[in-house]
Amino acid sequence: MSDSAAEGFPNLRLVAHPLVQHKLAVLRDKTTPPIAFRQLLRELGLLLGYEITRDLPLERRPIETPIAEMQAPHLAGEITIVSILRAGLGLAEGIRELMPMAREGHIGVFRDPKSKQPQEYYVKLPEDPGRALLIDPMLATGGSAAHAIDVLIARGVPASEIRFLCLVAAPEGVSRLAEAHPEVPIVAGALDSHLDSHAYIVPGLGDAGDRLFGTL
Ligand code: PRP
Ligand code: URA
């Protein structure tokens, strides 16, 4: 299987790598305890981090190897890893390992259980975030991600410089982001079937934040 754009969702790129699919299967399993859940989220961050950073621009800068001078490609400009709290923290760990030079921001939102609307409780971002890698394992209704993208745009990040990484996406959330923020590409491990009556992803993996932090 190769990575692909999902049919009908031009804003979504699915990563079909066998390691991603295997780790995602273990993560979904309801018997996987928080300690393994945490470890898997980090590992999936490492693997999917490769995909979400695939098209970051490079600039050549002079260096000297032990043998010769050269113009070597380096990442250009500032990059900020932005976790959507809480569950984004687990996935962002892997991204941080890949890019220890990146700055980090946090956007705290929880979904109101009745209205399913995102409730913002915390925002901390660098003054000038540059490009933003927005991280949250779950894209359900899309409300939380759409809100976080609004926050980034209000802080001066152009939509064209935002990329969204998740593990499991519902069609409803992908469509919502396509409508609200068509310029923001989504990288995901899986596109699931639908949302249930509580707006949980089916088959999904349950409540990612609760499973990560053992607050079930
Ligand atoms: C989960 C998840 C996303 C959001 C997705 O967070 O991590 O942020 O729900 O749902 P949506 O696409 O319908 O907005 P939750 O609200 O459970 O908060 P938590 O991470 O603090 O548990
Ligand atoms: N948030 C989660 O953590 N899981 C879902 O399935 C939906 C929202």
Ligand 2 centroid to residue 124 C-alpha, Å: 23
Q: pTM of the prediction? A: 0.96
ipTM: 0.98
Q: What is the C-alpha separation between 81 and 85, in angstroms, rounded?
A: 12
pLDDT at 51 over 60: yes
Tens digits of per-residue pLDDT, 21-35?
A: 999 999 999 999 999
Q: Which amino acid residue places its CA nearest to atom 2 of ligand 1?
A: 138
pLDDT in the model for residue 4: 66
pLDDT at 2 over 60: no
Query: Which atom number of ligand 2 is nearest to the Cα of residue 201?
Result: 6
Number of domains into which the chain is organized? 1
For residue 213, the ligand closest to its alpha carbon is: 1
pLDDT at 199 over 80: yes
Query: Which atom number of ligand 2 is nearest to the Cα of residue 200?
Result: 6
Ligand 2 centroid to residue 12 C-alpha, Å: 18
Whose CA is closest to 78, among 133, 153, 131, 124?
A: 131
- The response to whether residue 142 sits with its C-beta less than 6 Å from ligand 1 reads yes
- Domain of residue 106, residue span: 4-213
pLDDT in the model for residue 1: 40
Cis, bond preceding 86 (omega within 30 deg of 0): yes
CATH number reported for the structural domain that contains residue 123 in this entry: 3.40.50.2020
